């Protein structure tokens, strides 16, 4: 694992995550992030490897590494000349002076929250975020990402030609139970799954994925081949477990029904899903 030595001048404190401010560095076109809650760097890496086996081509690839001797990850900047990332949170603040998360919470139904969000983005920018959300929220359900928020969802604005495009999928560090303080190593998989809560449209990852639709297709045979060479870890075992649970949803060419996803969510809560282990074997 490469150890990148970066000077203090490269340090950029970037806030926005519900987990707090994470030490980040920027140097020569690359972003570097140190782990703060567990194994975020490994999670970023494995999720990007998963996406390499999907029909999504617009994502950030992460390299697991050390940064000044501390574990983390690095990724190439996804911004070109004249481009800037505009989060949906910032966009809403600029046009309304209000907090988007607070507004979303006032809307009772998950589906209506997503409809409101898509409409507001389209009205302001002309961009239809439907497909964008259907990929990201499906991925978050599959990988158990607990920290998807409106600051890591957004658009890329180009000042040279005034164009707008969707940002790539990035910031998956809080997936795969990477927060070891919250998801303890001495708890079973089922016990830790009970502590998983989603964002930004619902505490249920399944409910928001169902409302947005499963817009991601994954070649699980290719995924198995790629992951076969990865060292054993809890993150890897959690990913394999989730793949077994949801494989039929991400392989299907037909539209997946909401009831189908909700049934899997109910099975998770009751422990009746045959793909679940009743031991701590997934931790190894």
Tens digits of per-residue pLDDT, 204-233?
999 999 999 999 999 999 999 999 999 999
b/e burial code for range 13-23 (CB count within 10 A of at least 16 → b): eeebbebeebb
Together in a domain, 70 and 118: no
Show which of 76, 94, 110 is a domain's final residue. Answer: 76
How confident is the model at residue 107, as a pLDDT? 98
pLDDT score of 257 more than 60: no
How confident is the model at residue 22, as a pLDDT? 72
Together in a domain, 173 and 56: no
Domains: count for the chain: 2
Show which of 56, 76, 96 is a domain's final residue. Answer: 76
The CATH code of the domain that includes 28 is 3.30.200
pTM for the full predicted model: 0.90
Average pLDDT over residues 191-196: 96
How confident is the model at residue 258, as a pLDDT? 58
Together in a domain, 155 and 208: yes
Separation of CA 79 from chain center = 19
Within 10 A of 45 (CB to CB), how many other CB atoms are there?
23
Structural domain boundaries, residue 89: 83-283
């Amino acid at each position: 694992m490469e150890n990148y030595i970066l000077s203090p001048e490269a340090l950029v404190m970037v806030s926005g995550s519900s987990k707090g401010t994470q030490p980040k560095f920027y140097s020569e076109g690359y972003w570097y992030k140190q782990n703060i809650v567990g194994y975020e760097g490994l999670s970023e890496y494995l999720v990007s490897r998963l996406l390499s086996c999907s029909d999504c081509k617009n994502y950030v690839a992460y390299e697991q590494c050390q940064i000044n001797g501390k574990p983390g990850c690095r990724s190439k900047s996804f911004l070109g000349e004249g481009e800037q990332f505009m989060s949906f949170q910032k966009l809403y603040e600029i046009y309304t002076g209000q907090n988007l998360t607070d507004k979303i919470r006032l809307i009772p139904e998950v589906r209506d929250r997503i409809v409101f969000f898509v409409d507001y983005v389209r009205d302001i920018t002309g961009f239809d975020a439907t497909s964008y959300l259907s990929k990201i929220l499906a991925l978050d359900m599959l990988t158990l990402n607990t920290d998807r928020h409106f600051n890591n969802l957004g658009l890329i604005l180009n000042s040279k030609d005034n164009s707008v495009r969707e940002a790539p999928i990035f910031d998956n560090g809080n997936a795969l139970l990477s927060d070891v303080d919250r998801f303890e190593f001495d708890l079973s998989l089922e016990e830790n799954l009970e502590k998983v809560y989603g964002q930004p449209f619902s505490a249920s990852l399944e409910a928001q994925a169902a409302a947005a639709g499963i817009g991601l297709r994954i070649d699980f045979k290719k995924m198995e081949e790629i992951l076969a060479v990865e060292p054993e870890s809890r993150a890897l075992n959690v990913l394999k477990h989730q793949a077994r649970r949801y494989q039929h949803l991400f392989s299907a060419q037909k539209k997946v029904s909401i009831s189908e996803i909700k049934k899997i969510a109910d099975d998770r809560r009751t422990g009746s899903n045959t793909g679940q282990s009743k031991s701590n074997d997934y931790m190894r």
